[in-house]
Amino acid sequence: MNVCVASLCKAKQLEKAEIVIVDGIRIGLQPDVVTYNTLIAAYCRFVGIDAGYSILHRMKDAGINPDVITYNALIAGATRYSLLSKCLDLFDEMLEMRILPDIWSYNTLMNCFFKFGKPDEAYRVFQDILLKNISVHSATFNILINGLCMNGYTENALMLFRSLKCHGFIPQLVTYNILIHGLCKSGRGNVAREFLNELVELGHIPNAITYTTVMKCCFRYRQFEEGLKIFAEMRNKGYTYDAFAYCTVASMLLKTGRITEANEYLGYIITSGFTIDIVSFNTIFNLYCKEGQLDNAYTLLYEAENGGLESDKYTHAILIDGLCRTGNFQEAQQQLNRMSVTGFDSNLVAWNSFINGLCKTGQLDYATHIFESMDTRDSVSYSTMVRGLCQARRFRAASKLLLSCIRGGMNILKSDKRIVIDGLRSCGLTHEARKVQSKIQMAKLLHY
C-alpha cells in the first residue's frame, strides 16, 4: 500500500492516494507512520502547511506517533511557505517529544535560515552539526554553498568549494548548478563558465537546470544569440519538459523588443501541455501588458483566477507597469493602494514601476511625492527619480537626490551619476558638478 500511496503522491494525485488508503483499511491494512509521512510531505508540497498539519492530527488520532521524518517533512513544508517561526517551533517540538533530529533536520533548518537572509544563524546550525558529531551529508555542503551565494558571500562559497575539493569532496552536478547560479548572480560569469567546463570534464552530464542557469547567465551578459543556442541544444536533447526555460527565453525576447518571437515561445508554453503555473502565467501576462493590450490582460487574469491560479507580487507589478504604459495612472495608484491592504505591501518593484511611469510622462512632482511617501526605497527607486529629474533638466534636485542615495550607502549605476554631472555642467553649474564628483569619490573611499 505504501508504495502505491507514494507513487500517487508523487504524481500529485492526493485524492487517489486517499482512496487507496481507505481501500487498504477495508481489507485490514492500517496506514502506518510511513503512509502518514508520505501524505504529510505531499500535502505540504501541493496544498499547504495547514493541510500537512491536519494529516499530523489524523495520524495522532489514529494512535501513530510522529517520527523524525514526519517532522522533517513539516519543517521543509514550513520553509517552502516561508514560515520561519513555524520551522523553529517544529524543531523545538521535535526535541520536546524526544525525537532525535537527524542530519536532514539540521540541513532543512540551515536552509531555512539562509532563505530568510540569516546566514549567521545558518552557520551556527552548521557548527552545531559538527559539534554534535553528526555525520554530514553531501547536501549539507550544497546547502551551505547555495546559502552563502544567495546571501552575498559568493567568495566564501568559492573558498568552501575549493577547500572541500582538497579534502576529497567530489562535487555533484547539483553542486555545480548551485555554484554556476551563484557566480552568475554576483556578476562573475567568467568563473561560472570555468565551472561549466569543469563539470563536463568530471564526467557530469548537464541537466535541464544547468542549461537554464547557463542560458540565463548568457542573457544577463547580453549574449543573446549564445543563450538562444543553448536553448536550442537543450530542446534537441529533450530537456524542455517544463516551462522554466521557455519563460526565460520569452521574457528576454520581450525585454529586447523581439515581440513576435516572444509570442512564438509563449505559444509553445500554452500548446505544449505544460501546467500553467503562476510564473508562466506572469510571463504571458507580461506580454499582453507590454503590448498595451490591457483588456486582454484583464480577461486573462480573470480567467486564471477563476481557474484557481493565485496572482502574486509579480502579477501586480506587471499590471501596474502595464497601466502606467497605457497612461492609466489613476488605476495604477488604486491598484497599488489595494495591494497594500491585501498584503502585497513591500512590493517595491511595483512602486518603482509607478514612479518610473510618472517620470516618463513628465509628472515629476507627482513622482517626487510618491517617492517621498514610500516606506522603503532601493537603488532602483533612486535611479528612476534621478533619471527622471535629469530628463526634466532639474539637475540640482537630481544631484541632491543622488547624494542622499550615496549617503544612505546605496549605489546607483555609474551611467546615472554621469547624467547628473554632465547635466550640471551643461547648465553651467561646473562648481556643483565638481562638488558632486568629489562627494562620489569620497563615498567610494569610505565604503570600500
Partner DNA sequence: CGGATGGCGC
Regarding 34 and contact with DNA (CB under 7 A), the answer is yes
Regarding 105 and contact with DNA (CB under 7 A), the answer is yes
Which residue, 444, 372, 371, is CA-closest to 411? 444
171: left (phi over 0), alpha (psi -120 to 50) or beta: beta
- How open is the CA angle 69-4-80, to the nearest 5 degrees? 40
In the complex, what is the shortest distance from the CB of residue 188 to DNA, in angstroms, rounded to a whole number? 15
Regarding 100 and contact with DNA (CB under 7 A), the answer is no
- How open is the CA angle 374-376-380, to the nearest 5 degrees? 95
- Residue closer to DNA by CB (options 44, 436) is 44
- Residue closer to DNA by CB (options 154, 212) is 212
- Residue closer to DNA by CB (options 268, 429) is 268
Instruction: Please tell me the distance from the alpha carbon of residue 139 to that of residue 413, in angstroms, as a whole number.
Output: 37
Regarding 245 and contact with DNA (CB under 7 A), the answer is yes
CA distance between the termini of the chain: 61
| x/- track of binding to DNA for residues 386-425 (CB under 7 A) | ----------------------------------------
Question: Given candidates 151, 186, 352, 368, which one binds DNA under the rule CB under 7 A?
Answer: 352
In the complex, what is the shortest distance from the CB of residue 104 to DNA, in angstroms, rounded to a whole number? 3
Q: Looking only at residues 10 through 29 of this chain, which bind DNA when binding is defined by CB under 7 A?
A: 10
Distance, CA of 442 to chain centre: 34
Phi and psi torsions of 215, nearest 5°: -60, -45
- How open is the CA angle 225-228-232, to the nearest 5 degrees? 135
Which residue, 307, 306, 367, is CA-closest to 332? 367
Q: Looking only at residues 207 through 236 of this chain, which bind DNA when binding is defined by CB under 7 A?
A: 207-209, 212-213, 216
Instruction: Please tell me the distance from the alpha carbon of residue 244 to that of residue 176, in angstroms, as a whole number.
Output: 19
Question: Given candidates 31, 51, 90, 108, which one binds DNA under the rule CB under 7 A?
Answer: 108
- Residue closer to DNA by CB (options 4, 443) is 4
Question: Given candidates 151, 154, 177, 368, which one binds DNA under the rule CB under 7 A?
Answer: 177
Instruction: Please tell me the distance from the alpha carbon of residue 257 to that of residue 321, in angstroms, as a whole number.
Output: 16
- Residue closer to DNA by CB (options 164, 208) is 208
What one-character DSSP code corresponds to residue 375?
S
**Total residues binding DNA (CB under 7 A):** 77
Q: Looking only at residues 258 through 277 of this chain, which bind DNA when binding is defined by CB under 7 A?
A: 277
**CA count, 13 A, side-chain hemisphere, 32:** 6
Regarding 282 and contact with DNA (CB under 7 A), the answer is yes
Instruction: Please tell me the distance from the alpha carbon of residue 13 to that of residue 5, in angstroms, as a whole number.
Output: 9
In the complex, what is the shortest distance from the CB of residue 298 to DNA, in angstroms, rounded to a whole number? 17
Interacting stretch for DNA, rule CB under 7 A, among 46-54, 81-89, 128-136, 245-253?
Answer: 245-253
Instruction: Please tell me the distance from the alpha carbon of residue 85 to that of residue 62, in angstroms, as a whole number.
Output: 28
Question: Given candidates 350, 358, 420, 436, which one binds DNA under the rule CB under 7 A?
Answer: 350
**CA count, 13 A, side-chain hemisphere, 213:** 23
Question: Given candidates 17, 87, 143, 390, which one binds DNA under the rule CB under 7 A?
Answer: 143
Phi and psi torsions of 308, nearest 5°: 95, 5
- Residue closer to DNA by CB (options 63, 428) is 63
Instruction: Please tell me the distance from the alpha carbon of residue 126 to that of residue 360, in angstroms, as a whole number.
Output: 49
Q: Looking only at residues 289 through 348 of this chain, which bind DNA when binding is defined by CB under 7 A?
A: 312-318, 321, 347-348
In the complex, what is the shortest distance from the CB of residue 445 to DNA, in angstroms, rounded to a whole number? 28
The answer to whether the beta carbons of residues 289 and 332 sit under 8 Å apart is: no
Regarding 146 and contact with DNA (CB under 7 A), the answer is yes
- Residue closer to DNA by CB (options 213, 399) is 213
In the complex, what is the shortest distance from the CB of residue 284 to DNA, in angstroms, rounded to a whole number? 10
Interacting stretch for DNA, rule CB under 7 A, among 54-62, 116-124, 175-183, 258-266?
Answer: 175-183
In the complex, what is the shortest distance from the CB of residue 38 to DNA, in angstroms, rounded to a whole number? 4
Phi and psi torsions of 361, nearest 5°: -100, 15
